[in-house]
Amino acid sequence: MATAKGFLVFSYARNDDDDDAADDERQRQAFKDLSRLRIRRVDYIYAVFSALTVAFSDTAMQTCYFPVAADNVKQMLTNLPLSAGFLSTMVFLVFPTTTRKGIDYSGPSTNS
């Protein structure tokens, strides 16, 4: 789990075949620099805009906020998901996270 201080591993399984010293050394090598994986300010910005985009694209949520809507408001609500998605995309372009890698990123290719 990512926290403000670093990445917190909460289900590390010890190897029963190794002794404690070898297991501790393997754990230290695997988790040596987890503080660089902490949650940053840009992660909160991403979360807010992603949640707003999903919330505004749901018609049930729109009818909750605007139960009785005039024709102009209904037209705005029709275009709101597209606008929210476009705004979120622009925010994600302005605040990129170039230090994050995707799932199963194994580093640069070593094939020559």
- Band of pLDDT at residue 57, cut at 50, 70 and 90: confident
Q: Are residues 35 and 49 in the same domain?
A: no
Domain residues for the domain of 15 are 1-39
Instruction: Note whether 47 and 34 are same-domain residues.
Output: no
Q: Is the domain of 70 the same as that of 26?
A: no
- Please tell me whether residues 45 and 87 are part of one structural domain: yes
DSSP state letters, 21-80: HHHHHHHHHHTTTGGGG---HHHHHHHHHHHHHHHHH-HHHHHHH-SS--HHHHHHHHHH
Domain shared by 12 and 25, yes or no: yes
For residues 83 and 60, membership in a common domain is answered with yes
Q: Each residue of 23-48: pLDDT tens digit? A: 777 777 767 777 677 777 878 888 88
The chain-wide mean pLDDT, for the chain, equals 76
Give the residue, 12 or 54, on which the prediction is more confident.
54
Q: Is residue 35 part of a domain?
A: yes
Considering its fold, how many domains does the chain have in total? 2
